Chains A and B, each alone.
Chain A
Amino acid sequence: MPAAKKKSTTKGSPAENFLQAPINANLSSEEKRDLYRTILGIRRFEERSLQAYNQGKIGGFLHLYIGQEAVAAGVVSLMEENDHIITAYRDHGHALAVGMSMNECMAEMYGKHTGCSKGKGGSMHFFAPEKNYWGGHGIVAGQTPLGAGLAFALKYKGLKGCCVCFLGDGAVNQGSFMETLNLVSLWGIPVVFVIENNGYSMGTSLARSSAEENLAHRADGFDIEWDVCEGHDVFEVREYANRAMTRAREEMKPFLLEIRTYRYRGHSVADANHEKYRTKEEIEEYKKNKDPINVLKAQLLADGSLTEEDAGKINLEVKSEAEAAAKFAEQSPVAPRSEIQTDVYWEVDNDTSNSLKGTYFFND
């Protein structure tokens, strides 16, 4: 086993106070509280979904984002009209950050007709195209060429924007991702790949899965600009993501941003070993010093944009919103069986004049 290599530092100044960075300095108190609400909302939503999962009300897998919330919240807060995002299966945080409702997300996990995908996608497959959110993809790195394609379309149409494509540290070793890095650099495609490096690809630590642990360095092999930052401070995320997204929009060039973060829970809730492949101390250490909610709260209390009273009120609001979402999901109906064969083909769903020829479905 090779010794752990030294991690590269960011290209920016490590001593920066990110709240004072230009992209953050102009935020109003309300905007800062909104960030707090988003991050806290994701946490409370997922805690409630975990409860439902443990009660057997949510099936399949449940990949919790707890600990990583500042990444999605920070990046999404920077999205402009022609910016799009896409991610992998740990997708609840991104969904809520773009403004999907807790109701539709919770109902989807319950497999209900009122879910964002009518109960056809589940936890890993949330979509909201009207909010420029393109999933929610279940196969590791499978979303990375799609993210390139969204950005390709912007360039093709002459629109100024970018696509932020999130992936985990486990995805960097998939061929599709490396192929995509080459393609986007070759063609000058405005995509920002954000590696949410939580240190573990399922139960395998970075040291055991990646020969080069400085994941952002892979960009060098494809002549792509890169940077590295920490993911627990939403203002740091915003500062680095803003540089990457601005560059993509302005220069039509890809960017690889590695954000070092941490997940408190297992790979999925079914991951019973998550306290075996890492120590309890490691988890507690992060929670104590780098919890994105605590970090943000302390910053906002210090700069006066949030009071303890505000924080308590927001907490109660998002907690009750999550509770209401669970109730909504619980009470919603499962889609009728006839829905099994809708949303398969656009042309069938939209064949209002019944003019399509031939058989599309083949059961007896």
Chain B
Amino acid sequence: MPLITYREAIKQALAEEIEHDENVCIMGEEVAQYNGAYKVTEGLWEKYGDKRVIDTPISEAAFSGLAIGASCLGIRPVVEMMFMSFSYVAIDQLFNNASFCRYMSGGLMNVPIVVRGPANGGTNVGATHSHTPENMVANHPGLKVVCPSNAYDVKGLMKTAIRDNDPVFVMENTLLYGEKWEVPEEEYLIELGVANILREGSDLTIVAHGRCAMIALKAAETLQAQHGINVELVDLRSIRPLDEETILNSVKKTGRALLVEENKPFCGVDAQISHLIQLKAFDYLDAPVHRVSAIDAPQIYAKPLEDWQIPNEERIIEGALKCLA
């Protein structure tokens, strides 16, 4: 099986969907002639031309809203946010119009758009470029959001998102773009709402999403090797819809849960999951549910401090040991 980067996997997904459906088009800042700020769309404009791969001015509100309007008539725009942080200047379009048009029209409309781009910190760029708004998206019924942790997942989820008839946010991660995973050559899709058990174990369940799942995987190996703790790792993949069943089955098996995410803790995704576990697996718990989130402050610029602010292996191990204490 070919080993390809997360970036290449996204590009393959976009190219395949452009070829699969004539109504799929890519738009965003620098996606075409510049080849993508992070080279995710490299070569697509050259291959598919102006109609399918469209450079926009720096006007997130205008092109997000334009994508929504176009989707009303059957176009399936994939909108790139150079950083998901920039979606904040398009909040009315994305969080009012994309999310609620279907509802407010009593089901007469639907908005089949994809909003994709990196949503992560850890890149030494300060607070304005480091948002992880999957919790904010998930707080808006009508929107869907996925956080793929690896190349295989991002390709399968991206293709599903583009074919989905509702607005889907795909949260990528600049720190994953250059990482490689095995990705099959034949076409595949990954359903929304299905978590992935990255590692089976019996002592502790770690629930994570996005890049945190990959960090947790390393932490799990260390916990096994150094502490004899056998971790089961649930990678959520999809936040809304959420695979509650896989989370609960794992927690019922291990009796302990550590929730790891890059989000800030207050109303983070894991706040919801923690509630879920206490409500539906209360009698199975042998310890309180613990969380490792970003340290609760605006994203700091200084690199050594930011590396500590967002979850890392050391902090995850510390959290796991609390669950087992």
Question: Would you give the 0/1 interface string for B107-119, flagging 1 where the beta carbon is closer than 8 Å to chain A?
Answer: 1111010000000
Query: What 9 A-B pairs are tightest by C-beta distance, nearest first?
Result: A358-B193, A149-B69, A145-B65, A358-B241, A343-B107, A117-B106, A179-B62, A153-B73, A146-B69
Q: Give the shortest distance, in Å, between B167 (CB) and chain A (any CB).
A: 9
A356 adjacent to B62 (CB under 8 Å): no
Closest to A364 in B: B279
Q: Give the shortest distance, in Å, between A184 (CB) and chain B (any CB).
A: 8
B108 adjacent to A356 (CB under 8 Å): no
Query: Given the known A-B contacts A145-B69, A149-B68, A360-B241, are A135 and B61 also in contact in the complex, defined by CB atoms under 8 Å?
Result: no
Q: Please indicate the chain A residues that have their CB under 8 angstroms from the CB of B57 in the complex.
A: 179, 182-183, 186
B105 adjacent to A135 (CB under 8 Å): yes
Tell me if A139 counts as interface (CB < 8 A to partner B): yes
Beyond the given pairs A182-B62, A345-B166, A346-B166, 4 more chain A to chain B contacts, judged by CB atoms under 8 angstroms and listed by A's residue number, are: A145-B69, A183-B63, A346-B112, A359-B241
Q: Could you tell me the distance between the alpha carbons of A176 and B104 in the complex, rounded to whole angstroms?
A: 21
Interface segment, one of B89-97, B197-205, B224-232: B89-97
A179 adjacent to B59 (CB under 8 Å): yes
Question: Would you give the 0/1 interface string for A115-145, flagging 1 where the beta carbon is closer than 8 Å to chain B?
Answer: 1111111000101111000111111001011
Q: Could you tell me the distance between the alpha carbons of A156 and B61 in the complex, rounded to whole angstroms?
A: 20
How many of chain B's residues touch chain A, expressed as a range?
35 or more
B72 adjacent to A129 (CB under 8 Å): yes
Tell me if A344 counts as interface (CB < 8 A to partner B): yes
Tell me if B34 counts as interface (CB < 8 A to partner A): no
Tell me if A281 counts as interface (CB < 8 A to partner B): no
Closest to A150 in B: B69
Closest to B23 in A: A156
In B243-282, the 8 Å CB interface with A consists of: 243-244, 272, 279
Tell me if A190 counts as interface (CB < 8 A to partner B): no
Partner of A358, one of B65, B70, B242: B242
Question: Would you give the 0/1 interface string for B164-205, flagging 1 where the beta carbon is closer than 8 Å to chain A?
Answer: 111000000000000000000000000111100000000000
Tell me if A357 counts as interface (CB < 8 A to partner B): yes
A349 adjacent to B108 (CB under 8 Å): no
B65 adjacent to A180 (CB under 8 Å): yes
Q: Please indicate the chain B residues that have their CB under 8 angstroms from the CB of A149 in the complex.
A: 65-72, 75
Tell me if A288 counts as interface (CB < 8 A to partner B): no
A120 adjacent to B66 (CB under 8 Å): no
Q: Please indicate the chain A residues that have their CB under 8 angstroms from the CB of B93 in the complex.
A: 142, 145, 176
Q: Please indicate the chain B residues that have their CB under 8 angstroms from the CB of A357 in the complex.
A: 191-194, 241, 243
Question: Would you give the 0/1 interface string for B138-160, flagging 1 where the beta carbon is closer than 8 Å to chain A?
Answer: 00011010000000000000000
Tell me if B101 counts as interface (CB < 8 A to partner A): yes
Q: Could you tell me the distance between the alpha carbons of A175 and B164 in the complex, rounded to whole angstroms?
A: 30
Q: Could you tell me the distance between the alpha carbons of A267 and B249 in the complex, rounded to whole angstroms?
A: 55
Q: Could you tell me the distance between the alpha carbons of A149 and B104 in the complex, rounded to whole angstroms?
A: 19
Interface of B is mostly: mixed
Tell me if A342 counts as interface (CB < 8 A to partner B): yes
Q: Please indicate the chain B residues that have their CB under 8 angstroms from the CB of A30 in the complex.
A: none
B105 adjacent to A139 (CB under 8 Å): no
Q: Give the shortest distance, in Å, between A118 (CB) and chain B (any CB).
A: 4
Can you offer 30 A-B residue contacts whose CB atoms are under 8 A? Answer: A115-B106, A120-B103, A121-B105, A125-B105, A127-B105, A127-B106, A129-B109, A139-B92, A142-B65, A145-B63, A145-B64, A146-B65, A150-B69, A152-B75, A153-B71, A153-B75, A156-B51, A176-B62, A176-B65, A179-B57, A183-B59, A183-B66, A186-B57, A343-B102, A346-B110, A357-B191, A358-B193, A358-B238, A359-B242, A360-B241
In B32-69, the 8 Å CB interface with A consists of: 51, 56-57, 59, 61-69
Tell me if B211 counts as interface (CB < 8 A to partner A): no
Tell me if B240 counts as interface (CB < 8 A to partner A): yes
Query: Given the known A-B contacts A129-B105, A134-B109, A145-B64, are A356 and B193 also in contact in the complex, defined by CB atoms under 8 Å?
Result: yes
A150 adjacent to B105 (CB under 8 Å): no
Query: Given the known A-B contacts A116-B106, A150-B73, A342-B107, are A358 and B66 also in contact in the complex, defined by CB atoms under 8 Å?
Result: no
Q: Could you tell me the distance between the alpha carbons of A128 and B107 in the complex, rounded to whole angstroms?
A: 11
B92 adjacent to A146 (CB under 8 Å): no
Q: Please indicate the chain A residues that have their CB under 8 angstroms from the CB of B244 in the complex.
A: 358-359
Tell me if B298 counts as interface (CB < 8 A to partner A): no
Tell me if B316 counts as interface (CB < 8 A to partner A): no
Q: Give the shortest distance, in Å, between B140 (CB) and chain A (any CB).
A: 10
Q: Please indicate the chain B residues that have their CB under 8 angstroms from the CB of A125 in the complex.
A: 104-105
B70 adjacent to A139 (CB under 8 Å): no
In A146-194, the 8 Å CB interface with B consists of: 146-154, 156-157, 163, 175-176, 179-180, 182-183, 186
Q: Give the shortest distance, in Å, between A360 (CB) and chain B (any CB).
A: 5
Q: Please indicate the chain A residues that have their CB under 8 angstroms from the CB of B110 in the complex.
A: 346
Closest to A191 in B: B69
